[in-house]
Structure 1
Amino acid sequence: MKNFKKILGATLATAAVVFGGALFSQRAQADTTLTVGASASPHAKILEHVKPELKKEGIDLKIKVFNDYILPNKALANKELDANYFQHTPFLKNWNKKNNGTLINAGGVHLEPIGVYSKKYKNLKDLPKNATVYVSSNVADYGRVLQIFKDAGLITLKKGTDLTNATFDDIKTNKKNIKFKHTFEAKLMPKLYEANEADATVINANYAVQAGINPAKTAIALEKKSSPYVNIIAVRKGDKNKTAIKKLVKVLQSKSTQKWIEKEFDGAVLPAKSTK
């Protein structure tokens, strides 16, 4: 009888350890799972690349792909995501302002140089008088577009214009009377370019890449690498210093990842950090 009690006690103790270990394992797994919303390309592709490295760091990265610029911030604010990766800081600030949001920047990863494309002209300066240029309805990108046309000497801007929140109303002089039509969804721009209706079309690099267009080789004018519109990891206020978030940003900003970005996208996507 004593032996039976000893055996039973040992069995129960072992079961308790196993059960407790299983519970601990489940909790640990839950603590290290990180769900990040991202645009399909290049964001999700970059995240897939760092998945193995994060696994070594104890982070189980889950990637949720979005095909627009509207839902990822809503999902993050609603705690459906732990972070998202698709936008630059001016876009985030504009979203926070419009939605009374408190999302913040946890770290920059890469630049997607916005570009001007044309099937009719090989240089931006070749655009004729009264040319029509299609631009997306994404207000946060207007300053980037204006900077490109300003650099080409085609427009000047009103004194004191802040490019991070500029609009086409800030144009002071327009040498060729270029017509900027900006009523289109950003994801539609590659199709509008292929339709060849306008004299030129402005396309965000991620949508260009998804459509098989290489910005570095096809654009007739491209945003400079010094642009402040670096794509970032966005998180809810208070989450920036969470261990999993810090590990994600560290891996994305590592020299090896930044070099991979530079090589993988052949200039279509530029690393935010120096790879030298």
Structure 2
Amino acid sequence: MKKLLLIILSITLLIVSCGVNKSEEKKLEKLKVAATPIPAGEVLEVIKEDLKKEGIELEIVTFNDYIQPNKVLQSKEVDANLFQHTPYMENFGKKNGFEMVAVGKIYLPTLALYSKRIKNVKELKDGDTILIPNDPTNAARSLILLDKGGIIKLKDNTKQDATVKDIAENPKNIKIVELSAEQLAPRLEEVAASIVNSSFALDAGLSYKKDGILAEDKDSPYANVLATLKGNEKDEKIQKLLKALQSEKVRKFIEEKYKDVIIPVF
């Protein structure tokens, strides 16, 4: 009889326990965030459990392009996205008739000048060749970076759509050759130096400490931000997401996984 009572009690406790768990699950609020797989998707995965403790179930929706994450935000299929910098966000919004807000900076996918031949920009010789990406945004970023390093001088080094035509001074007659981003790292050994996008630098095993001679800093306007529709930036779920993304846990993850190629900026 005692055994039967114990079994009944155990079953009752199990049912009650399950009921509590289901009740807790129902309390979780869903939060959908669009992102590119690397690094944004990986960074968001790190905070899933932390947000669950805050009553939020995070759903990460990944895309391999830079258009759909904003399109699904515009259509309100997601609550926020993480993949873009503010200049791109603002330009995309203007072109597509809606307004987004940068809730906070998370990380900078650095654009850097790498070399296998020299250790300092002062070692560049007359007529040397530097490779840069040929897409408009990163070409302009590259030229601004070269201006910052004193290699060239632009007419306006704040112009975010600068082209080689905006070069005012080139004292060492550096040949600037534009190539598609995926060609920059493989051809690095053929030239004096090459600017390489962060994702391709990671793929090629480049390290700024070992191969870099010039890089963007944390004040770069091209840091990737958590973005949402204007008016939603104060939403409690968005603010909890921002807090989790700007945590020491995320900082350590970025620093350890991506080394000096992608850096936290909070």
TM-score bin (small chain)? 0.7 to 0.9
Which residue is equivalent to 1:213?
206
Count matched residues.
Answer: 247
Normalising to structure 2: TM-score of the pair? 0.77
Which residue is equivalent to 2:149?
152
1:222 pairs, out of 215, 225, 239, with 215
Alignment of 1:34-113 (within 5 A): 34-113=31-110
Q: Is the 8 A contact 1:144 1:163 kept in 2?
A: no
1:175 pairs, out of 171, 176, 184, with 171
- Alignment CA distance shift 1:53-1:91 (3 Å): same
Q: Is the 8 A contact 2:100 2:228 kept in 1?
A: yes
SS in 2 for 1:146: helix
> How far apart are residue 89 of structure 1 and its match?
1.0
Tell me, in whole angstroms, the C-alpha distance in 2 between the residues paired with 1:69 and 1:149.
Answer: 26
Percent identity between the two aligned chains: 38
Tell me, in whole angstroms, the C-alpha distance in 1 between the residues paired with 2:103 and 2:84.
Answer: 12
Amino acid at match of 2:212: A
2:250 pairs, out of 245, 257, 265, with 257
SS in 2 for 1:108: strand
- Alignment CA distance shift 1:79-1:215 (3 Å): farther
Tell me, in whole angstroms, the C-alpha distance in 1 between the residues paired with 2:98 and 2:209.
Answer: 35
- Structure 2 unaligned segments of length 5 or more: list them: 1-21
Q: Is the 8 A contact 1:42 1:209 kept in 2?
A: no
1:194 pairs, out of 186, 211, 216, with 186
Q: Is the 8 A contact 1:120 1:199 kept in 2?
A: yes
Q: Is the 8 A contact 2:111 2:216 kept in 1?
A: yes
Tell me, in whole angstroms, the C-alpha distance in 2 between the residues paired with 1:134 and 1:70.
Answer: 27
Cα shift readout 1:84-140 (whole Å, capped 9, x = no counterpart): 111111221222233334222111112222112234544434444444433334433
> How far apart are residue 251 of structure 1 and its match?
0.9
Q: Is the 8 A contact 1:125 1:152 kept in 2?
A: no
- Alignment CA distance shift 1:98-1:178 (3 Å): farther
Q: Is the 8 A contact 1:41 1:209 kept in 2?
A: no
Amino acid at match of 1:177: N
Normalising to structure 1: TM-score of the pair? 0.75
Amino acid at match of 1:194: P
Cα shift readout 1:121-167 (whole Å, capped 9, x = no counterpart): 44434444444433334433344322321233211121x54244433
Q: Is the 8 A contact 2:43 2:254 kept in 1?
A: yes
> How far apart are residue 249 of structure 1 and its match?
0.5
> How far apart are residue 54 of structure 1 and its match?
0.9
> How far apart are residue 247 of structure 1 and its match?
0.8
- Alignment CA distance shift 1:42-1:178 (3 Å): same
Q: Is the 8 A contact 2:40 2:83 kept in 1?
A: yes
Cα shift readout 1:44-77 (whole Å, capped 9, x = no counterpart): 2211111111111112112233333333223322
Q: Is the 8 A contact 2:144 2:157 kept in 1?
A: no
Which residue is equivalent to 2:158?
162
Amino acid at match of 1:176: K
RMSD over aligned Cα atoms? 3.1
> How far apart are residue 271 of structure 1 and its match?
1.9
